[in-house]
Chains A and B, each alone.
Chain A
Amino acid sequence: MPFLQLENVSKSFGSFKALNDISFTAEAGDFVVLLGPSGCGKSTLLRLITGLTEDHEGEIYINGRNVTDLDPKDRRVAMVFQSYALYPHLSVARNISFGMEINHLPRAERDRRVLEAARALQLEDLLNRLPAQLSGGQRQRVAIGRCLVREPDLFLFDEPLSNLDAKLRHDTRVELKHLHQRLKATTVYVTHDQHEAMTLATKVVLLKGGEIVQIASPTELYARPVNRFAATFIGSPAINLVAGELDSAGRFTGGGLDVQLPGSIFDAPAGARKVELGLRPENAVIVPPEEAQQTIAVDYVEPTGADLYVNGHAGGQEVVVRAGRTANIAAGDRLPLRWQLDQALVFDAESGRRI
């Protein structure tokens, strides 16, 4: 039996269906990221796993136990909240030991676990401080420490990085990754940030409108998204979608392109139909004009340091491509391109499903 298992979980608030028939599993040591735009139900799902939100359909199993009807305290889960929810009037040490005090653990055992957690999280020098005297990153470590000492089956994170500035967010993300690799704790992590999902997850559950869109590893999600939504949600800048026609021989025409697509990119034999061709910005190569499949008119160039993102248009459609930072490109240029078509994705224009 998987370590964490959700079976046909649905949740409604009044007439609003927040979650519809959610099922997924995670093995021990997995880092599951619930990813999706705001309002997709990911936080609700996390609260259902904690038991903080009650009354849902379906079953939830953690570590072989059916916890569906258990109170939050009996589910052996620990959670890091978006605000960290540290108790402002208690010292770091008391914050970490609060749950153990409530549960009447002997003092010696509490002190031992607090010290152990503090050592693992480099909080030893901060144990007597109040939360207000800590930086954002330190506060998060205290929140994690509070989870560690409870020795839970499952760690839950609710958008823990969203209150941090960009630099700290990166550092903390790295720290979380290290921590997970060291502790091998089974984790469910909620975020709307694709970078967090891609860097942290061993398994991504992509949600939209209360339903699961795709469950996959980060690399698979990027390379083989099941539909247009999954393809556009992951990747920055977003994937280029070129509208056009596919004929029965696998030839695509549209947006200034007229190319034969390799058969390997199709999951199933594709008939002639209207499609959208998905091309990631990094799959474009700038070539001499005579080798070009497509020539785009450059509108503007975004330098990001390592790369240039060239925004242009071709055949009435907008296109973004990645170029090296040394490329000499300016607005108004005409840029001849060749696409790595073995990386291309083809979506049915009507259903949005990948073919």
Chain B
Amino acid sequence: MARRRKLTPGKLLVRIIQYGSLVIASIAVLLPLWSTIAGSFKTPVEYINTSHSAPPANWLNFDNYRQVLFPQTGLPIGWAFFNTAMIMGCAVVLLVIFGTMLAFVLNRFRFPGRRLLLGTYAALVAVPSILTPVSTFQVLQFLGLANSRWALVALYSGADIVSILIFIQFIRNISTEIDDSARIEGASYFQIFFRLILPMLAPAIATVVILRCVYIYNDFVLPFLYASRPSESTVSIMLYNFTGITNTISQAVIMAAVIIVILPTLVGFFFLQRFIYAGITSGSVKG
């Protein structure tokens, strides 16, 4: 029979501190979530009169959710989901095409200015984002994109240095003999890229898509600046509009909206966690 090692008072104290701190940290994280869930089922009057941590009187009171999903005035939250999904879809497709092509060219071809090009992408990271909105807005206005969802598509689809480096890292590990072999077999550079390199980049693409989607879903600043009209608003903006402008909406309704906004990310995380872990570690382990 397995013998348990004796617990000395000193070790016991360490254990208590360890587990105690973890419990406190967990409560700090979970309590707001709990009060949000609980609040989303409360009636407006109940919400004001009861404590934040108190459970709702009726767990089956879906009035708040109904009001978010099918409002009598204004746009339903589904519209914001549609906007966000559309922006995400367009931006991610463009990002993958631009990013992988750029990485392919930078890694496989030798031409003057190659390093300068990559260096420029890297240097742009160092420009504080607080400096750019005015000029960005002017550019978007010039392009006729200001105050529309397409402004966000344009802004999100630009390949950033992180995505490019992830792609370059992967392409570097694909032997150039693959390219040579295909060239001898008669493939053009486009065929080599689309039929061989792009499919082989699938893990890198998954990583970049996940990182970018999380960023787009959570981003508040860019939609707030460039696409703030209600009909153009993303999920984050719609949520913000619930809180700010109209005081007529009960806090309980906002709680319901928050829960609805959290749900897709939770579902997405459960389905994609394998890729998310792989994506986060793949960049760090290979150097």
A-to-B contact residues, CB < 8 Å: 50-52, 72-73, 77-79, 81-83, 85, 87-89, 98-99, 102-103, 146, 150
Contacts and interface: CB of A to CB of B under 8 A. Distances in A.
B184 A83 contact: no
Interface string B192-225: 0001100110100000000000000000000000
A98 B180 contact: no
B267 to A, nearest CB: 28
A72 B177 CA distance: 13
Given A81-B177, A82-B177, A89-B199, A98 B182 contact: yes
Contact of B181 (A79, A88, A89, A103): A79
Contacts, number: 58
Given A85-B177, A98-B185, A98-B195, 9 more contacts: A50-B180, A52-B183, A73-B184, A79-B180, A83-B177, A85-B175, A85-B180, A98-B182, A98-B187
Contacts of A72: 180, 183-184
B185 A52 contact: no
B186 A73 contact: yes
A99 B183 contact: no
B184 A79 contact: yes
Dominant secondary structure of chain B at its interface with chain A? helix
Contact of A50 (B184, B196, B200): B184
A52 B184 contact: yes
A76 to B, nearest CB: 10
Contact of B186 (A79, A88, A99): A99
25 contacts: A50-B184, A52-B180, A72-B180, A72-B183, A73-B184, A73-B187, A77-B184, A79-B181, A81-B175, A81-B181, A82-B177, A83-B177, A85-B175, A85-B178, A85-B181, A87-B182, A88-B200, A89-B202, A98-B185, A99-B186, A99-B187, A102-B185, A103-B185, A146-B181, A146-B185
Contacts of B175: 81, 83, 85
Contacts of A150: 185
A50 B179 CA distance: 13
Contacts of B186: 73, 99, 102-103
B191 interface: yes
A85 to B, nearest CB: 4
A47 to B, nearest CB: 8
A6 B199 CA distance: 39
B174 to A, nearest CB: 9
Contacts of B184: 50-52, 72-73, 77-79
Contacts of B182: 87, 98-99, 102
Contacts of B178: 85, 87
A88 B177 CA distance: 13
B196 to A, nearest CB: 6
Interface string B159-193: 00000000000000001011011111111000100
Given A73-B183, A79-B184, A102-B187, A87 B196 contact: yes
Contacts of A102: 182, 185-187, 191, 195
